[in-house]
Amino acid sequence: MFGFSASAPRLVRRRRFSKDDGGATAVEFALVSVPFFALVFAIIETALVFFAGQVLENGVTDASRIVRTGQAQQMGLDQAAFKERLCSRVTGLFNCEGGIKLDVRTVGSFGSIDLSNPIDEDGNLEENFTFDPGGSGDIVVVRAFYEWPTFVPNLGNDLSNLGNGRRLLASAAVFRNEPF
């Protein structure tokens, strides 16, 4: 009668829907939020790994001073007592009880020092560590290892370098013992 077809109401609804942008911001945020939060969490995790590595480095440097000056040898400290000294310098950030592994070795020369990470072919931390603080004038290598948990490996920031999905933090102090 007026020349309208049966599909005219659907066409009007489509035009209204295509011009309505009330939910566009929510849809755009939903599309952008996943990569944005992945990036934020990756930055935070990377910063935490670097911070924890620096704290471990400072703790090893401070704790190894008692070996270098001969105090550990004169007091008869064993690996557990030395580990306790290290843990007192890194409290709150590490699980010292079962987490930090120590390796204190005496070497013949600075050229013979091996600072490679003790990771086996399966990606696990080898634990053939010793505690030999040496004597007066000996060259000593103090190394500490910690398996740091990673939180966002599936968001494009896989920092793990161990088979169990953790990151191995390592710190070393190499020095010649003072005369004591």
Q: What is the pLDDT of residues 11-33, one digit of tens each?
A: 666 666 566 666 778 888 889 99
User: pTM of the predicted model, to two decimals?
Assistant: 0.79
Residue 4 lies in a domain: no
Residue 17 lies in a domain: no
Residue 113 lies in a domain: yes
Residue 170 lies in a domain: yes
The band of 178, judged by pLDDT with boundaries at 50, 70 and 90, is: very high
Residues in the chain, how many?
Answer: 180
Q: Which residues contact 147 (CB under 8 A, 6 or more apart)?
A: 99, 125, 162, 164, 166, 167, 168, 169
Here the contacts of 146-149 (C-beta below 8 Å, separation 24 or greater) are: 146/52, 146/56, 146/94, 146/99, 146/100, 146/101, 147/99, 148/49, 148/52
Number of structural domains the chain divides into:
1
In one-letter notation, the amino acid at residue 29 is F
Name the strands in the sheet holding 101-107, side by side, starting at the edge strand that comes first in the sequence.
Answer: 101-107, 139-149, 166-176
Residue 137 lies in a domain: yes
Reply yes or no on whether the pLDDT at 3 is more than 60: no
**Tokens at residue 4, please?**
């309208």
Angle between helices 24-68 and 79-87 (to 10 degrees): 130
Q: Is 49 exposed, middle or buried (0-12, 13-18, 19+ CB in 10 A)?
A: middle
Residue 39 lies in a domain: yes
In one-letter notation, the amino acid at residue 25 is T
Domain that holds residue 67: 23-176
Residue 164 lies in a domain: yes
Residue 18 lies in a domain: no
Residue 106 β-bridge partners: 140
Map 138-157 to HEC letters.
CEEEEEEEEEEECCCHHHCC
| Distance in angstroms (rounded) separating the CA atoms of residues 90 and 92 | 7
What pLDDT digit, counting tens, does each position of 58-98 carry?
A: 999 999 999 999 999 999 999 999 999 999 998 888 888 77
The band of 129, judged by pLDDT with boundaries at 50, 70 and 90, is: very high
| Distance in angstroms (rounded) separating the CA atoms of residues 18 and 13 | 9
